[in-house]
């Protein structure tokens, strides 16, 4: 576990168990921590966050990418507030690539039911700084 605050999230724990069974490491574990923050609404816990200070977040629904950890965190905070407590991102599958890359396919659920047409995919580029793996771009 990366930090005690995220260990309280049951969804994170289930994903962590899946990763342990698959012997996944590196970027895949990074995705679990990142998604665990969404599910557990743990946006305040900076010790668990794995974004670089100059991270870039690009999404096809926005014309301009979000640049920098603070900008991305503000977007995530606003998104979580707008979604409310009953809406969650759920990982369907993930895959690690070469050179510290990974991808994740997800969908959105409301009160445990999948919302139609909410499947998405993110590609993550990570880097290692001082022995710690962090997200550089996604």
Instruction: Give domain status of residue 127, yes or no.
Output: yes
Instruction: Give domain status of residue 52, yes or no.
Output: yes
* Number of domain units in the chain: 1
Instruction: Give domain status of residue 25, yes or no.
Output: yes
User: What is the per-residue pLDDT across 108-127, written as a single tens digit (0 to 9) for each?
Assistant: 889 889 999 999 888 888 88
Q: What does pTM read for this prediction?
A: 0.71
Rounded to whole angstroms, the Cα distance separating 48 from 35 reads: 11
Q: What is the pLDDT of residue 66?
A: 93
| Pairing status of strand 66-67 against strand 87-96 | unpaired
Instruction: Give domain status of residue 41, yes or no.
Output: yes
Instruction: Give domain status of residue 133, yes or no.
Output: yes
Q: What is the mean pLDDT of the chain?
A: 76
Instruction: Give domain status of residue 50, yes or no.
Output: yes
Instruction: Give domain status of residue 1, yes or no.
Output: no
* Domain carrying residue 64: 6-137
Rounded to whole angstroms, the Cα distance separating 138 from 31 reads: 11
CATH of the domain at 105: 3.10.450.50
User: What is the per-residue pLDDT across 80-92, written as a single tens digit (0 to 9) for each?
Assistant: 888 888 888 888 8
Instruction: Give domain status of residue 75, yes or no.
Output: yes
């Amino acid at each position: 576990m990366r930090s005690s605050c995220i260990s309280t999230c049951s969804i994170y724990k289930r994903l962590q168990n899946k990763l342990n069974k698959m012997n996944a490491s590196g970027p895949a574990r990074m995705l679990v921590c990142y998604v665990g923050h969404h599910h557990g609404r743990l946006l305040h816990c900076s010790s668990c966050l794995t974004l670089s200070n100059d991270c870039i977040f690009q999404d096809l629904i926005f014309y301009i990418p979000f640049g920098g950890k603070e900008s991305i965190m503000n977007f995530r905070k606003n998104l979580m507030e707008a979604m409310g407590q009953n809406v969650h991102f759920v990982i369907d599958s993930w895959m690690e690539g070469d050179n510290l890359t990974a991808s994740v396919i997800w969908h959105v659920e409301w009160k445990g039911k999948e919302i139609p047409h909410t499947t998405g995919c993110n590609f993550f580029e990570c880097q290692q700084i001082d022995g710690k793996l962090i997200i550089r771009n996604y």
